[in-house]
Amino acid sequence: MTTITSTAPAPAGARTPVLSALRIGRHLIESPVVLAPMAGITNRAFRRLCREYGEDGLAQGGASGATSLYVSEMITSRALLERTPETMRLIAHDPQESPRSIQLYGVDPATVGEAVRMLVTEDRADHVDLNFGCPVPKVTRKGGGAALPWKKDLFEAIVTAAVREADPYDVPVTVKMRKGIDDGHLTYLDAGRTAERAGVAAVALHGRTAAQAYSGEADWTAVARLKEAVRTIPVLGNGDIWSAEDALRMVRETGCDGVVVGRGCLGRPWLFTDLAAAFAGTSARVRPTLGEVTATMRRHTEYLVEFYGDEYKACRDIRKHIAWYLKGFPAGSSIRNQLALVDSLEALDTLVASLDPGAVWPGDAAEGQRGRAGSPRHVALPDRWLESRRLDESTRHVVAQAELAVSGG
């Protein structure tokens, strides 16, 4: 693991947790933190790495048990029902993963319901999250993702079907969403109330619209408004949580019951150590050296080898993480470029050996935004999508094809 350094830690007996454990249905999550589903990122290998660091942080806070909730990357309901090999691989969990959490995407209530039924009857998941936040054009132009809650009846039918199938097996269903399509077409308050009535266990809000994608700043005031509107279940805040201090500030400013972390942990899985410690009321924070960072990167690659069963595929996967891991550290463009082409563990080790393992944590240079940001965009939607808040015959056949817009699970 890494070395955890601390500034003025509180005595063990004086620690006061910032938030109580997060209750998601029957699951008690000691640290009120959720790893956001991220396509191509939150596979079994990355979840394992984050979970290990979360457990370390929980120990720093003097607690034990389930750490955070670590959600799979988005799974397409139709691909799940067809049992495509890639989808079945993506829904597999490590024996140590508990609760086993899967995020589903779908636009047809019957298909989503059947997918949930498959997961619960075959004992493949302990928690199901529904995706209503994806801003990707190939999804929204078919009426899926962040575009879907605009159609109130369709949203309600999908959520109701999922809860109906999961409830007899005591598997909680949650909803993750955005503020809406754009500032003129907000949906999150209606969707939050509808999800609450339908019996979901929690709702999570990314404080951006689909039009924003990942640009600009997340609107945390929307999280506060949702918390005021939804009274009986937890409300989780998502967006621009780059550090444990950001998470604490979000809780103070919005009153949310927990946080969802996505891009903030890219190349920095030890953020879950910081978050667990911070919510437990301690000031312990991870400040790894470059040697500790590259050791984590190496372990991540090893886990990817296990996940893929193929060293070359694992090395291709780790390439996109390398810039995130090395952010702010003195590495040099030549080594960075070579690492971005690494094709074996031996090559990775050779390149890493040329770096200075004693280089200290670079502070601000390593902090802040990571991952994609982009710029505001026009949201691709089906024709006449915005004319009504309910489905009509002209759009019904369009959304029926939406699951086909997302390939590979």
pLDDT tens digits along 378-399? 999 999 999 999 998 777 777 7
- Are 249 and 31 in contact by the 8 Å Cβ rule? The answer is no
Task: Say how far apart CA 366 and CA 288 lie, in whole Å.
Answer: 11
- The separation between the first and the last C-alpha atoms of the chain, rounded to the nearest angstrom, is 32
Q: Judge whether residue 270 has pLDDT over 70.
A: yes
How buried is 263 (Cβ within 10 angstroms: 0-12 exposed, 13-18 middle, 19+ buried)? Answer: buried
Give me the percent of the chain exceeding a pLDDT of 70.
Answer: 91
The predicted pLDDT at position 6 comes to 39
Q: Which domains does the chain have, with CATH numbers?
A: 19-287+373-405 (3.20.20.70), 290-360 (1.10.1200)
Number of Cβ within 10 Å of residue 225's Cβ equals 18
- pLDDT, tens only, 356-385: 999 999 999 999 888 777 788 899 999 999
Per-residue pLDDT band for 8 (boundaries 50, 70, 90) equals very low
Q: What is the mean pLDDT of the chain?
A: 91
pLDDT band of 11, cuts 50, 70, 90: very low
Question: What are φ and ψ of residue 71, in 5° steps?
Answer: -95, 140
User: Residue 296: helix, strand or coil by DSSP?
Assistant: helix
Rounded to whole angstroms, the Cα distance separating 134 from 132 reads: 6
pLDDT at 397: 74
Structure confidence at residue 140 (pLDDT): 92
- Sign of the alpha-carbon torsion through 136, 47, 295, 329: positive
CB environment 70-105: b (16+ within 10 A), e (fewer): bbbbbbbbbbbbeebeebeebbebbeebebbbbbbb
pLDDT in tens, 35-86: 999 999 999 999 999 999 998 776 665 555 457 899 999 999 999 999 999 9
- What 3-state class would DSSP assign to 322? helix
Predicted confidence band of residue 310 (pLDDT cuts 50, 70, 90):
very high
The one-letter amino acid at 259: V
Q: What is the DSSP letter of 281?
A: T
Average pLDDT over residues 188-202: 98
* DSSP letter (8 states) at residue 131: E
Alpha helices in 327-392 (DSSP H): 333-339, 345-352
> Of residues 134, 256, 265, 315, which has the active-site annotation?
134
If you write DSSP's letter for every residue of 209-260 in order, what string do you get? Answer: -TTTTT-S---HHHHHHHHHH--SS-EEEES---SHHHHHHHHHHH--SEEE
Residue 50 bears catalytic tag: no
Q: How far is CA 376 from CA 215, 216, 263, 308, 380, in A?
A: 6, 8, 18, 35, 12
Q: Is 269 helix (H, G, I), strand (E, B) or coil?
A: coil
pLDDT at 393: 79
Looking at residue 321, its amino acid is H
